């Protein structure tokens, strides 16, 4: 799929309750690389193999959760076109000036039907991955620090109007539906998994009565063995684990869900499959939703259903 529009998830701003504790967790336990701090007190991180300045931003607050998620678009002309397309569709947009986030250009911000704040941007400083672009080695010392994810990969968000989200993302922003989960009536949507590239999903939504809720942010690891290593590190550091290691039926990813010190759920996963827009959409029926989410257990635990931030 040609990356002519929205290319990928680019950053997420997460609210944390104790900044010092969170810096230690994201930097030393999860194994992200700190890249800066701003005058507002926010702290910026990237995964070791990401090239842009940051992908995770921490902001201290009184409640945990997500402030916004940002997607990088191909170029400035694409940003202008998508802003105009959103407005023509009836979505109110706001321009956030360049420099509001460190090393980041102007952003187009809007609220989607589930109440979440989404941003588009075209420019962020490329800081590299500690390797030369000439004759590079396959990995660096940072690739062995903590769980050492390759990238911030996707987010799962909870809110009421996932049908509206699906229309907005597919009709305006160029995403396509990869997998879906149906409710008991066999028609209504319980969950959707959408992509703007070849990944099984860049964003997912689950129907939930409260708007603007974060279920988890997800980080890609290199292999199933790295997922198992992450599980060891979680136990060594007394990280609360929700479930795993296990496998998804949906997307086929090998996964662990756990919680950061503020109670924000995060995922470390590997594998999964690649997809294309012409592939048929995969459908999971309501009676098999447990198998779809946790393929080995074939049932959902209560925390996975009820704990959001």
Question: Is there a catalytic annotation at residue 201?
Answer: yes
Question: Is there a catalytic annotation at residue 11?
Answer: no
Which one from 248, 274, 276, 279 is the annotated catalytic residue?
Answer: 248
d(CA 38, CA 100): 9
Distances (CA, A) of 258 to 128, 210, 232, 263: 29, 22, 12, 9
∠ CA 282-198-244 to the nearest 5 degrees? 65
Closest CA to 26 of 11, 3, 45: 45
Q: Please, what's the b/e burial string for 69-105 (b: 16 or more CB within 10 A of its CB; e: otherwise)? A: bbbbbbeeebbeebbebbeeeebebeebeeeebbbbb
Give the strand order in the sheet containing 93-96.
33-37, 43-46, 56-60, 6-16, 65-73, 117-121, 107-111, 93-96
Tokens representing 4 are: 């002519």
Which one from 11, 201, 208, 215 is the annotated catalytic residue?
Answer: 201
Question: Is there a catalytic annotation at residue 248?
Answer: yes
Question: Is there a catalytic annotation at residue 257?
Answer: yes
Which one from 116, 208, 215, 216 is the annotated catalytic residue?
Answer: 216
Which one from 53, 154, 208, 215 is the annotated catalytic residue?
Answer: 154
Question: Is there a catalytic annotation at residue 116?
Answer: no
Backbone angles phi, psi at 118, to 5 degrees: -120, 145
Question: Is there a catalytic annotation at residue 267?
Answer: yes
Backbone angles phi, psi at 283, to 5 degrees: -120, 135
Give residue for tokens 């010190």.
261
d(CA 178, CA 224): 23
Q: Which region holds residue 219: left if phi is over 0, alpha if psi is between -120 and 50, else beta?
A: beta
Residues marked active site are found at 154, 201, 216, 248, 257, 267
């Amino acid at each position: 799929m040609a990356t002519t529009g929205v290319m990928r998830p680019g950053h997420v701003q997460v609210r944390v309750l104790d900044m010092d504790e969170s810096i230690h967790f994201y930097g030393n336990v999860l194994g992200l690389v700190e890249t800066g701090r701003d005058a507002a007190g926010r702290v910026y991180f990237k995964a070791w193999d990401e090239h842009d300045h940051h992908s995770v931003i921490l902001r201290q607050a009184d409640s945990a959760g997500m402030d916004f998620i940002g997607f990088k678009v191909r170029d400035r002309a694409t940003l202008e076109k998508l802003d105009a397309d959103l407005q023509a569709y009836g979505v109110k947009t706001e321009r956030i000036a360049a420099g509001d986030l460190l090393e980041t250009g102007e952003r187009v911000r809007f609220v989607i039907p589930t109440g979440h704040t989404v941003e588009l941007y075209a420019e962020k400083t490329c800081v590299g991955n500690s390797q030369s672009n000439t004759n590079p080695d396959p990995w660096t010392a940072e690739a062995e620090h903590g769980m050492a994810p390759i990238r911030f990969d996707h987010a799962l968000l909870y809110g009421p109007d996932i049908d509206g989200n699906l229309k907005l993302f597919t009709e305006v922003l160029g995403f396509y539906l990869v997998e879906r989960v149906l409710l008991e009536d066999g028609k209504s949507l319980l969950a959707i998994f959408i992509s703007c590239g070849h990944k099984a999903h860049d964003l997912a939504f689950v129907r939930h009565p409260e708007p603007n809720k974060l279920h988890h942010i997800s980080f890609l690891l290199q292999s199933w063995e790295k997922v198992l290593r992450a599980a060891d590190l979680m136990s060594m550091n007394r990280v609360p684990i929700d479930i795993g290691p296990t496998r998804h039926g949906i997307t086929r990813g090998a996964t662990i869900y756990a919680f950061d010190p503020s109670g924000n759920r995060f995922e470390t996963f590997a594998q999964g499959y690649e997809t294309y827009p012409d592939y048929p959409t995969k459908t999971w029926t309501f009676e098999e939703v447990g198998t779809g989410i946790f393929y080995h257990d074939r049932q959902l635990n209560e925390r996975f259903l009820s704990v959001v931030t």
